[in-house]
Structure 1
Amino acid sequence: MHESILFGIACIFLLGIGAQWLAWRLRFPAILLLLIAGFLAGPVTGIIDPDELLGDLLPPLVSLSVGIILFEGGLSLKFRELRQIAGVVRNLLSVGVIVTWAIAASAAYRVLDLDFGIAVLLGAILVVTGPTVIIPLLRHVRPSAQVGSILKWEGILVDPIGAVLAVLTFEVILQTELQPLARVAILGLLKTVVAGGLAGIVAAFVLLLFLRKFWIPDFLQNPASLMAVIAVFVGSNAIQAESGLLATTVMGLILANQKKVPVKHIVEFKENLRVLLISSLFVLLAARMQVRQFTEMGIESLAFLAALVVVGRPASVFFSTLGSELSWRERLFLSWMAPRGIVAAAVSSVFALRLSEAGYGEANILVPLTFFVVAGTVALYGLTAAPMARLLKISKADSQGVLMAGAHTWAREMARTLVDQGYEVLLVDTNRRNVYQCRMSGLSAMHANILADRFFSETELDGIRRLIALTPNDEVNSLACLKGRERFGRDQVYQLIHEEAKEEWKYGPPAADFGRYLFAPGVTYERLDVQFGEGAAIKRNRLTEEFGYEDFRKLYGEEAIPLFIIVDGELTVITADTQPNPKPGQTLISLVPAPRG
């Protein structure tokens, strides 16, 4: 018994993280692979049965996980993003929600022929999009900053709003007298806002107080913050049902926008936890589906889904963006991005059970219909959002740019070579003269300290994919990589090898504790400076069958240092722990010694 439970839990994590990794390798929407993996492991093969595996623990675990994900989502919301999009976000969360609710409820009532109360409840459930689906899709699609911010804010904040609407609708349905309906709805809304809002505010300020006073040691800060999120979620829900989602969102929002206590380590911890939770939740969601739920769906269900996609979302965006400065392309893309996620599935399961117990037979259709909409919208938007963004020309091109720390003479030569090949390069230096020389030669440069606390968070780095640290100061290079890997990832930060690592190389490649070592063993700043001083030059060679890499070596000798390889437009930085092996058809950028004699 215990072994089968452990096996099931292991399969959930294995399939979830495996699907995420495969999506990264294939550059494919992770959400789709997660749904496929869960569906194959659940109804197709029967390897995972979430209800048997977790039993009554499943609904509360799902709800708690969503609360934690919303807290992490709140941590990613910066008020400065609202300067140009505040009106659109406000309208989407008010007018847009009402329009979506009305159209979804009308479609459920007219097309699916549901009882009016059940139709209104289904409409309330389906107003949510949510960070569990929006954030992974945004990472895949990479739309323009303005559109991405709008979708992120809407996706995170609409979850608690949708949950509250569903709760209020459910309470109204159970009322037998017509007179107190308005009072029930208004009272429930006020209780949710007060309970959730106050709980989130109090929890955030208490946690900040403990962090500011150093009453929590460093090694307990992440666990303590997780404990606080769980406590405020459960406590708020105990006061008013489903208000915990609002509480955790508010808590994250406050922590993200205060400046008295650094919370970067908490953000990083929650980001990792979010990936694990989203992966597991979608596998569980898909594994709970039944094949018959889809085979029993008739043309009416497809028509209902079409109404949500073709009528509901476009109408919501149309009324929400009236008078805004968004272009028609941006509005059209917003109209084509409303996947439903975990919250809709979880809420429908809870209310279907309670309404069935109260004698509402039609409530049993809530769960399969919601799962059908979740799967349908995730598949539709997951497959079409990226092509739509490219068609509308609002997606960011696959970033290949380079951020260079150091703008001295030969760093400028490297930058010029890359710019001539069509790559974006931004040089950063604290030396004003170096920055001036960059700008005079037509290179993008900024006078700044790359080690400043807010450099990476406040500098516009769209289109930049990697960091190359070329300063004469080994410590600056290492610290720049340490900070830069939070933005670019450990595999995309590079630094010149320092003397200590150069000595260690005699016994094998040393661990790159900060950045990956550039070019070749022994290529320090001093060596490059000497070679450039002796007249070495950066050359670009297009390799062919007639002139391959061996011919290059014969021509320039072993002193030539390969720097970069370009393969079908993809820039690869050569590192000291890899042997360059460029093929015909590829472009090799290298430092070649000055001609002798």
Structure 2
Amino acid sequence: MPLLLAAQAPMSALAYLTLILALGVVAQWIAWRFKLPSILLLLAFGFGLGQLTGVRIDDFLAGGSGHGSPLLSAVGLFVAIILFEGGLTLKFSELRESGLPILRLCTLAVALSCALTTTFMIYGLGYDIRLAALTGAILTVTGPTVIAPLLRHVNPTRKMASIFKWEGIVVDPIGAILGVLVFIIALSSRADTASSQVLLAIGKMILVGGFGGYALGKIVELLLRRHLIPDFLQPVFLLAVVAVAFTLSNLVEKEAGLLTVTVLGVVLANQRSVSVRHILEFKENLRTLIISSLFLVLSGRISLPELHDALGKGGALLAFLIVVGRPLSVFGSLAGSKQTTFKERAFLAFLAPRGIVAAAVASIFALEFEVAANNGRFGELGPVIASQSREITALIFLVIIGTVAIYGLAAAPLARALGLASKNPTGILFAGADAWARLVAKALHDDGHRVMLLDTNYSNIAASKLLGLDAQRANILSEFAEEELDFNGLGSLVAGTPNDEVNSIAAQRFSHHFDRAHVWQLAPSDRSAHHRTATSSEIRVQNCFTGAPDHRKLQQMAHQGALVKKSNLTEKFTFEDFEKTYAGTSAMVLFITDSSRGLRPAPAEIEKLPPGSTLYVLVPENAETVELKPETSAARDQ
């Protein structure tokens, strides 16, 4: 009875926010655990929360959900933070390989998409030309709120990831600006007045968003370079700078704030005088929280009747965008491009999910159009435009749900079918290409596993290439290694240089790329030293290979003629039998592979392995092993 009364009691704002936070974490974890698109789960959880509880975020907002509401203001600010964080990841070095396709996608493809969608809205769905043009402008955007999680799920090649990332971040402010221009033209009664107002708006956008964002970026760089902002305050300081820049820019010109914060992020990402890595890491964590919360909150605001009313038109618009609009705009804009292959264009044509920016901009301008229509700005068409304006938000949200669901479920299989992504990236990146690394990498390579070796030593790289291995002369700590090498198909790092400090730093730097569970280093040579002289364990990661050998031990075994052998575990030959086989030798398990988890480095201590596992074992030359009969395990069990 008390539980029933508690369930019937109105939900408090604290309980609602707690549910949003908890459900966001649960959705992200389920997506990670079962390799599903996180955005799809967030949408489902948010919609389910709204339907099951009947509670929406609007219930706790004094300002309601209209124009200028706290919700729309908060959404705009959160989107600005996400775009700034996205701008921090845009490096001009990525444009050397795919600059022209990115330029075309952000210009020609936007124009084609806007024109095609507008035409369909007018002649296919019967919308007024003004609302059709507004919808066409809004639906040109994709955005980092949906692109970043999907790229993490799909794991495409570095080139494809760069193109999608640039397009998603750059097009977002462009779509918002197009929405502003359409609104200006729609409300103007004369063509000459409209053209002058549009030119003035574009000038303000360029001045405030472009030059203002650039100047602000240089000021922030100067403050950081002269250490006028302490380290502990820098992430919060930049968060405040983004909020102020976004708000002031929007006061000068509507929707200019998104352009300002994007340019600010790009400027800081490409300057060389100060490091912004720690700021980027903070913003990445913040982005995960913001994306989870926004999708849960906004999807919870949509009711079943609203979706039902928009289902027919929304389904038709969704089908048009996926089957006609996006493919025509991509193939049309990239026609004749020598920097993209047909397979790459096909993949680009089938990944354009719409996200938070589309929902936020649609909500704002739909309200603006409705207010203008009710005030008689459109004459006799006022009631029609007002009615259609009320449909736009649900229509756009249905497109968001549909594109996220379809692209989220189909993009990964398509990318793998086109050879642009790996199903389960389990290849190994070796930091260091000494004799032991070449020996091990050759064995893995010959079995079909992807390996890459990085080293600054010419002779080591030459010896690796003579073995047919993918080897690059590069410092594992260089920007080139982190930003320009294609790690598609690689799932783990083994830091195995002779320098323990380099191994530790490399492991720390690549933890954000591979996750800490997939970053390994050789046991340091000072692991047995006194804590006064040994390097702190806090800056190290897990040690790999059974017995935790150091670099000297592995090199010694390689030079003495050690071999890499495979051992398959079965029901009759268990891991206990394997240990007896190599008892008394210095053999060590280097890698383990099975059907469920794929290839991975062996930990320093192995407790038990199931049948079906394959072990890659480094065995000393002339090692004497215990001969075990096949029935050993069965006899022992009896």
Task: Give the TM-score normalised by structure 2.
Answer: 0.86
1:29: Cα distance to partner? 0.9
Give 3-state SS (helix, strand or coil) of 2:608's partner: coil
Give 3-state SS (helix, strand or coil) of 1:572's partner: strand
CA RMSD in angstroms comes to 2.6
CA distance in 1, matches of 2:550, 2:418: 46
1:491: Cα distance to partner? 1.6
Q: Give the corresponding residue for 1:132.
A: 145
CA distance in 1, matches of 2:321, 2:333: 16
Q: Give the corresponding residue for 1:273.
A: 286
CA distance in 2, matches of 1:268, 1:28: 23
Pick which of 108-117 and 445-454 moved more. 445-454
Give 3-state SS (helix, strand or coil) of 1:516's partner: coil
Q: Give the corresponding residue for 1:373.
A: 399
- Residues 293-372 of structure 1 mapped to structure 2, 5 A cutoff: 293-325=306-338, 326-358=340-372, 359=374, 360=382, 361-362=386-387, 363-372=389-398
Q: Give the corresponding residue for 2:516.
A: 490
Q: Give the corresponding residue for 2:489.
A: 463
Give the gaps of 5 or more residues in structure 1: none
Say whether residues 1:567 and 2:594 are aligned partners: yes
CA distance in 2, matches of 1:258, 1:533: 45
Pick which of 134-143 and 233-242 moved more. 134-143
Whether contact under 8 Å (1:519, 1:563) holds in the other structure is yes
Q: Deviations over 1:562-584 (max 9, x none)?
A: 222110271122212x5342222
In structure 1, which of residues 188, 192, 203 is the aligned counterpart of residue 205 of structure 2? 192
Say whether residues 1:582 and 2:609 are aligned partners: yes
CA pair 405-302 structure 1, distance change in 2 beyond 3 A: closer
Q: Give the corresponding residue for 1:591.
A: 618
Pick which of 410-419 and 369-378 moved more. 410-419
CA pair 405-386 structure 1, distance change in 2 beyond 3 A: closer
Whether contact under 8 Å (2:155, 2:488) holds in the other structure is no
- Residues 494-509 of structure 1 mapped to structure 2, 5 A cutoff: 494-498=520-524, 501-502=527-528
CA pair 415-86 structure 1, distance change in 2 beyond 3 A: closer
CA pair 106-409 structure 1, distance change in 2 beyond 3 A: closer
1:38: Cα distance to partner? 0.6
CA pair 314-424 structure 1, distance change in 2 beyond 3 A: closer
CA distance in 1, matches of 2:94, 2:344: 16
1:114: Cα distance to partner? 2.1
Q: Give the corresponding residue for 2:17.
A: 9
CA pair 194-519 structure 1, distance change in 2 beyond 3 A: same
Percent of residue pairs bearing the same amino acid type: 43
CA pair 368-433 structure 1, distance change in 2 beyond 3 A: closer
In structure 2, which of residues 99, 122, 134 is the aligned counterpart of residue 86 of structure 1? 99
- Residues 360-439 of structure 1 mapped to structure 2, 5 A cutoff: 360=382, 361-362=386-387, 363-439=389-465
Q: Deviations over 1:191-242 (max 9, x none)?
A: 2222211221121011001011111111111111111111111111110010
Pick which of 390-399 and 540-549 moved more. 390-399
> In the alignment, residue 158 of structure 2 is paired with which amino acid?
A
1:541: Cα distance to partner? 0.7
Give 3-state SS (helix, strand or coil) of 1:346's partner: helix
Q: Give the corresponding residue for 2:5.
A: none
Q: Deviations over 1:315-366 (max 9, x none)?
A: 2113211221232222222222221111111111112223222214221111
Q: Give the corresponding residue for 2:60.
A: 53
Whether contact under 8 Å (2:183, 2:365) holds in the other structure is yes
Give 3-state SS (helix, strand or coil) of 1:588's partner: strand
Whether contact under 8 Å (2:147, 2:353) holds in the other structure is yes
Say whether residues 1:546 and 2:572 are aligned partners: yes
Pick which of 300-309 and 12-21 moved more. 300-309
CA distance in 1, matches of 2:158, 2:525: 41
Q: Give the corresponding residue for 1:98.
A: 111
CA distance in 1, matches of 2:315, 2:127: 15
Pick which of 286-295 and 300-309 moved more. 300-309
Q: Deviations over 1:50-77 (max 9, x none)?
A: 1123443110110011111111111111
1:585: Cα distance to partner? 1.9
CA distance in 1, matches of 2:493, 2:317: 48
Q: Deviations over 1:42-98 (max 9, x none)?
A: 12333x511123443110110011111111111111222223433332232222222
CA distance in 2, matches of 1:328, 1:447: 31
Say whether residues 1:202 and 2:230 are aligned partners: no
CA distance in 2, matches of 1:180, 1:504: 79
Q: Give the corresponding residue for 2:378.
A: none
Whether contact under 8 Å (1:112, 1:301) holds in the other structure is no
Whether contact under 8 Å (1:564, 1:572) holds in the other structure is yes
CA distance in 2, matches of 1:203, 1:123: 32
Pick which of 22-31 and 555-564 moved more. 555-564
1:537: Cα distance to partner? 3.9
CA pair 549-50 structure 1, distance change in 2 beyond 3 A: same
Pick which of 161-170 and 562-571 moved more. 562-571
CA distance in 2, matches of 1:424, 1:519: 19
In structure 1, which of residues 241, 251, 260 is the aligned counterpart of residue 273 of structure 2? 260
> In the alignment, residue 609 of structure 2 is paired with which amino acid?
P
Whether contact under 8 Å (1:93, 1:158) holds in the other structure is yes
Whether contact under 8 Å (2:94, 2:484) holds in the other structure is no
CA distance in 2, matches of 1:172, 1:592: 76
CA pair 126-477 structure 1, distance change in 2 beyond 3 A: closer
CA distance in 1, matches of 2:157, 2:565: 35
Whether contact under 8 Å (2:547, 2:588) holds in the other structure is no
Say whether residues 1:41 and 2:54 are aligned partners: no
CA distance in 1, matches of 2:479, 2:311: 57
Whether contact under 8 Å (1:111, 1:300) holds in the other structure is no
1:312: Cα distance to partner? 1.5
Give the gaps of 5 or more residues in structure 2: 1-8, 375-381, 626-638
Whether contact under 8 Å (1:574, 1:580) holds in the other structure is no
> In the alignment, residue 53 of structure 1 is paired with which amino acid?
F
Whether contact under 8 Å (1:356, 1:364) holds in the other structure is yes
Q: Give the corresponding residue for 1:163.
A: 176
Whether contact under 8 Å (1:8, 1:53) holds in the other structure is no
Give 3-state SS (helix, strand or coil) of 2:616's partner: strand
Whether contact under 8 Å (1:43, 1:288) holds in the other structure is no
Pick which of 75-84 and 56-65 moved more. 75-84
CA pair 438-33 structure 1, distance change in 2 beyond 3 A: same
CA distance in 2, matches of 1:282, 1:500: 48
Q: Give the corresponding residue for 1:479.
A: 505
Give 3-state SS (helix, strand or coil) of 2:310's partner: coil
Q: Give the corresponding residue for 1:237.
A: 250
1:403: Cα distance to partner? 2.0
Whether contact under 8 Å (1:497, 1:521) holds in the other structure is no
CA distance in 2, matches of 1:440, 1:318: 41
CA distance in 1, matches of 2:557, 2:346: 54
Whether contact under 8 Å (1:401, 1:463) holds in the other structure is yes
CA distance in 1, matches of 2:512, 2:147: 22
Pick which of 142-151 and 123-132 moved more. 142-151
> In the alignment, residue 585 of structure 1 is paired with which amino acid?
G
- Residues 276-291 of structure 1 mapped to structure 2, 5 A cutoff: 276-291=289-304
Give 3-state SS (helix, strand or coil) of 1:388's partner: helix
> In the alignment, residue 32 of structure 1 is paired with which amino acid?
L
CA distance in 1, matches of 2:475, 2:413: 38
CA pair 490-33 structure 1, distance change in 2 beyond 3 A: same
> In the alignment, residue 339 of structure 1 is paired with which amino acid?
P
Task: Give the TM-score normalised by structure 1.
Answer: 0.92
Give 3-state SS (helix, strand or coil) of 1:83's partner: helix
